[in-house]
């Protein structure tokens, strides 16, 4: 099934788009990862996942219709060349809603994610774009529907429609209309995320092709859906009970299990660099010595530390270059 067909019931034909307001969507970090698709066209996942959104850190996007033969895309104040892969992904996403022969936009998008963070911006980027499209075409979609729309841009973007803790239900329908995120009601005011930059350069294999290679070549991947399902339950239990140890240990185990499936792919996918491993050893040593910190990692070499605000001072002392995010606000 193609993307446009799945959205058919939600689109009104003949609407002339207008200029949207500027819309914001937060970046998110998965504690239980999305790794592997059951449908590559629609970004339908093999497993459910759970993330925390990063408060006011994310992407701001505005759409203005223009009388011009192509889209004009601005990122962080710079006009991009239309052939840039970033522009092509955005234009292809806009094509789902318009007649691409005579409807183009100026897309102005800026990220408030710290530059040194090594965080992906495609999640917040496609979520903010989905919100702007909804406004521009007056679609009046619900948050769940917007989450479905954002997923068509990038899987993890479906979680960036919501703030706080967010669960992406994998769904079972072929058209994917039941595969969207939902906000969990629990908050965790003292939760901190520390961004440890090992290398912020563009990685050789992006998540999209990395997960596909894993699904196709790693026998070990067969055990991933079971691990993810059990981790998701543990994380929900940890969030309900505000049990930090359970949260941290489950998130770290989940990230390392995902990396194990990457290592077992062929050609092998190794996102770690020597410094990534050095940081892991440092974290394990500090934990052994009584400091409650854990980490998670995505498809890249950088680490995201998980700790509580009660440990902030000591963690800052140990990692002076780290940027700290408090997803539920400062305490
Ligand atoms: C490791 O959402 O970037 O960050 O759906 O192909 O766009 P596409 O992939 P993407 O993958 C994110 C993978 C991850 C884990 C996660 O965020 O859950």
Q: Of 223, 302, 299, which Cα lies nearest the Cα of 262?
A: 299
pLDDT of residue 13: 78
User: Taking 90 as the threshold, does the pLDDT of residue 232 lie above it?
Assistant: yes
For 280, counting Cβ atoms within 10 Å of its Cβ (0-12 exposed, 13-18 middle, 19+ buried), the class is middle
Give nearest CA residue, ligand 1 atom 3: 207
Average pLDDT of span 273-289: 97
Mutate to test the pocket of ligand 1, among 156, 202, 203, 265 (most ligand atoms within 8 A of CB): 156
Token digits of residue 163: 């703030």
Cβ pair 217, 205 in contact under 8 A: no
In this prediction, residue 100 carries a pLDDT of 78
Closest by Cα among 123, 131, 139 to 43: 123
pLDDT band at 120 (very low <50, low <70, confident <90, very high): low
Residue 325 pLDDT exceeds 60: yes
Q: What percent of the chain has pLDDT over 70?
A: 97
Q: What is the pLDDT of residues 133-153, one digit of tens each?
A: 999 999 999 999 999 999 999
Q: Which atom of ligand 1 is nearest to the CA of 33?
A: 18
Find out whether the beta carbon of 43 lies less than 6 Å from any atom of ligand 1: yes
26 and 160 Cβ atoms separated by less than 8 Å: yes
**Confidence bin at 281 (pLDDT 50/70/90):** very high
CATH class belonging to 191-325: alpha beta
Statement: residue 330 has pLDDT above 80: no
Which residue ranges make up each domain of the chain? Answer: 3-183, 191-325
Q: Give the mean pLDDT of the chain.
A: 95
pLDDT tens, position by position, 247-275: 999 999 999 999 999 999 999 999 999 99
The 10 Å Cβ neighbour count of residue 254 is 26
171: left (phi over 0), alpha (psi -120 to 50) or beta: left
Contacts of 39 (CB under 8 A, 6+ apart): 1, 174, 176
Lowest model confidence (mean pLDDT) among 107-116, 153-162, 182-191: 107-116
Closest to 255 in 3D by CA, of 13, 14, 29, 53: 29
ipTM of the assembly? 0.99
Rounded Cα–Cα distance for residues 112 and 116 (Å): 11
Average the pLDDT over 93-108 and give the result.
92
- CA 14 to centroid of ligand 1, rounded, Å: 33
pLDDT at 227: 98
Instruction: Tell me what pLDDT residue 115 has.
Output: 55
User: Which range has the worst mean pLDDT, 104-118, 153-167, 224-238, 278-292?
Assistant: 104-118
Q: What Rg, from alpha-carbon coordinates, does the chain have?
A: 20
CB-based contact 301:273 (threshold 8 Å): yes
Higher-confidence position of 186 and 116: 186
Q: What is the CATH number of domain 3-183?
A: 3.30.230.10
Q: What is the pLDDT of residue 2?
A: 93
pLDDT at 190: 96
Q: Exposed (0-12), middle (13-18) or buried (19+): which is 148, by Cβ within 10 Å?
A: buried
Expressed in angstroms and rounded, the spacing between residue 208 Cα and the centre of ligand 1 is 7
State the Cα angle at 153 between 298 and 137, rounded to 5°: 145
Paired tokens of 265: 């792919």
Does the beta carbon of 122 lie inside 6 Å of ligand 1? yes
> What number is the average pLDDT over the span 102-114?
91
């Amino acid at each position: 099934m193609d993307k446009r067909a799945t959205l058919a019931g939600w689109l009104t034909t003949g609407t002339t788009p207008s200029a949207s307001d500027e819309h914001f969507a937060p970046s998110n970090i998965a504690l239980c990862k999305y790794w592997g698709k059951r449908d590559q066209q629609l970004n339908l996942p093999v497993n459910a996942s759970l993330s925390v959104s990063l408060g006011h850190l994310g992407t701001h996007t505005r759409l203005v219709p223009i009388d011009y033969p192509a889209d004009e895309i601005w990122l962080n104040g710079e006009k991009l060349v239309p052939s840039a892969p970033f522009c092509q992904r955005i234009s292809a996403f806009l094509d789902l809603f318009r007649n691409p022969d005579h409807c183009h936009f100026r897309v102005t998008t800026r990220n408030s994610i710290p530059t040194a963070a090594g965080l992906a911006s495609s999640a917040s980027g496609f979520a903010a774009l989905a919100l702007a499209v909804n406004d521009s075409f007056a679609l009046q979609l619900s948050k769940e529907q917007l989450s479905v729309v954002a997923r068509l841009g990038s899987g993890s973007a479906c979680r960036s429609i919501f703030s706080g803790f967010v669960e992406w239900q994998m769904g079972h329908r072929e058209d994917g209309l039941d595969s969207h995120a939902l906000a969990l009601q629990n908050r965790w005011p003292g939760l901190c995320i520390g961004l440890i930059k090992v290398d912020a350069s563009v990685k050789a294999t992006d998540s999209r092709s990395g997960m596909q290679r894993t699904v196709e070549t790693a026998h070990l991947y067969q055990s991933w859906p079971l691990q993810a399902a059990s981790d998701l339950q543990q994380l929900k239990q940890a969030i309900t009970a505000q049990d930090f140890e359970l949260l941290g240990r489950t998130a770290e185990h989940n990230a390392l299990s995902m990396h194990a499936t990457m290592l077992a792919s062929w050609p092998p996918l190794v996102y770690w660099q020597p410094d990534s491993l050095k940081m892991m050893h440092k974290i394990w040593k500090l934990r052994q010595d009584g400091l409650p910190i854990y980490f998670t990692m995505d498809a890249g070499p950088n680490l995201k530390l998980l700790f509580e605000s009660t440990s902030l001072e000591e963690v800052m002392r140990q990692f002076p270059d780290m940027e700290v995010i408090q997803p539920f606000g400062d305490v």
